[in-house]
Amino acid sequence: MGRGSAGRIGIALTEKQRIAWLRLIRSDNVGPSTFRDLIRHYGSAEAALAALPELSQRGGSTRVIRIASEQDALRELEAAHRFGARFVGIGEPDYPQALREIDGAPPLLAVKGNLPTATRPAIGLVGSRNASISGAKFTAMIARACGQAGYAVVSGLARGIDTAAHRASLETGTIAAMAGGLDQPYPPENIGLLHEIWDGNGLAVSEMPFGWEPRARDFPRRNRLIAGISLGVVVIEAATRSGSLITARLAGEFGRLVFAVPGSPLDPRCEGTNGLLKDGAMIVTRPEDVIEALRPLAEPDLFRPQLAEAPAEKSDKPISLPPDDTDRWEIIDALGPTPVEIDDIIRHTGLSVSSVHSVLLELDMAGRLHRHPGGLVSISMLD
């Protein structure tokens, strides 16, 4: 497989669109899934931004929603430029192709380094921060072999297994997924490694703003990037309660291959990986196990882009009128704290798809909608 076989597909955003996208994703109550729903409903980020205050009010919010200003977006773009980084949109050629396909893919990624690495097929390698010598050595073997076979190696820049994976694939290409902003690397002892990554054939990616210091709850989002960018994830040493198992679970939910390296039943670092094998993960005892399993998935056209917004100056998409209060309350009454499928809401109420999605957006912007795996939703009830 050639290193460039993944290809580059997509359409570039205009600078005007990039500013509007950045404003939208940085506004209150707008996460990746909400971002995509807003774009689909309103046709453009600019139209969605104009609708946010009214959506929030109709959803029951009692406070004024914070909308990121154009000045805020321009400051962040300038910070990225000074840092030698840029923002890549989900429909653009330099956005990781496999990541486009997951639910809740980040609409914008801050990236620094060798951009072509983002478009290559990738394999995730994750594991214990307190890695054994043999675990780190075997990780390096897998990373080197996969790199030589044309795959980018993705990991989370953590101590232990992550560090071994990145170092072994510096020459062939590695991607560091970060929990904080690109300018807030963690842990501090890997700052030098991060510079080696983006100054060479590697790339650093983050969905967080510049200046954002990583917190505990940001690391599962980082793990989601690793699983989403990769065609498969290999877990080498992981305790029963570890972030690596979160990455493996997400990879399974995204339809990616999950591999695990077996270890001693007496080593707590191997309880998680041995458990993955019991649950059906693919066993890895040599690098070829990974390469052979990935080969059918590494076709250039396996992932095709699904643009969140057509890069045009204006959208001709008609915006439907909001539902009336009777329909709104019928939808809200059908919801509760128990997660349900959106299709079930439509069937239960007998209302149009547009009406249901409009009310869900209202609740979302008011901070009352909760999104769950599998596309399920629930709401917080008003006092």
For residue range 232-287, list pLDDT tens digits in order.
999 999 999 899 999 999 999 999 999 999 999 999 999 999 999 999 999 999 99
- The pLDDT, as a whole number, for residue 6 is 45
Q: Is 128 exposed, middle or buried (0-12, 13-18, 19+ CB in 10 A)?
A: buried
In sequence order, which residues have a C-beta less than 8 Å from that of residue 112 and are 6 or more positions away? 83, 84, 85, 86, 182, 198, 203, 204
Alpha helices (H) in the chain, listed in sequence order = 15-25, 32-42, 45-58, 70-83, 133-148, 161-168, 191-199, 219-229, 243-253, 271-278, 287-294, 325-334, 342-349, 353-365
The Cα–Cα gap between 38 and 196 comes to 38
| Whole-prediction pTM | 0.88
pLDDT at 312: 42
3-state secondary structure of 176: strand
pLDDT at 309 over 80: no
| Residue 138 reports pLDDT greater than 80 | yes
Q: Which two tokens stand for residue 26?
A: 């940085």
Specify the CATH number of the domain 98-104+115-298.
3.40.50.450
Are 238 and 263 in contact by the 8 Å Cβ rule? The answer is: no
24 — pLDDT class (breaks 50, 70, 90): very high
User: Can you tell me the distance from the alpha carbon of 221 to that of 4, in angstroms, rounded to the nearest whole number?
Assistant: 28
The CA distance from 316 to 203, in Å, is 37
Tokens found for residue 73: 């977006």
CA–CA gap between residue 308 and residue 107 (Å, rounded): 8
Q: Which two tokens stand for residue 270?
A: 């191997």
- Indicate the fold that domain 325-379 takes in CATH: Arc Repressor Mutant, subunit A (1.10.10)
What pLDDT shows up at residue 328?
85
Scanning the structure block, which residue is given the tokens 């877990």?
Answer: 235
DSSP letter assigned to residue 341: E
- Beta-bridge mates of residue 377: 340, 371
CA dist 229 and 298 (Å) reads 13
User: Is pLDDT at 300 greater than 50 in this prediction?
Assistant: yes
CA angle 355, 356, 359 (to 5 degrees): 85
**pLDDT band at 382; cut points 50, 70, 90:** low
Counting runs of H as helices and runs of E as strands, what totals does the chain give? 14, 12
pLDDT of residue 316 exceeding 60, the answer is no
Q: What is the pLDDT of residue 320?
A: 62
Q: Average pLDDT, stretch 201-209?
A: 97
Domain with CATH 1.10.10.10 in the chain: 325-379
Q: Boundaries of CATH 3.40.50.450 in the chain?
A: 98-104+115-298
Out of 64-68, 103-107, 154-158, give the one with best mean pLDDT.
Answer: 154-158
Peptide linkage before 262 cis (omega within 30 of 0): no
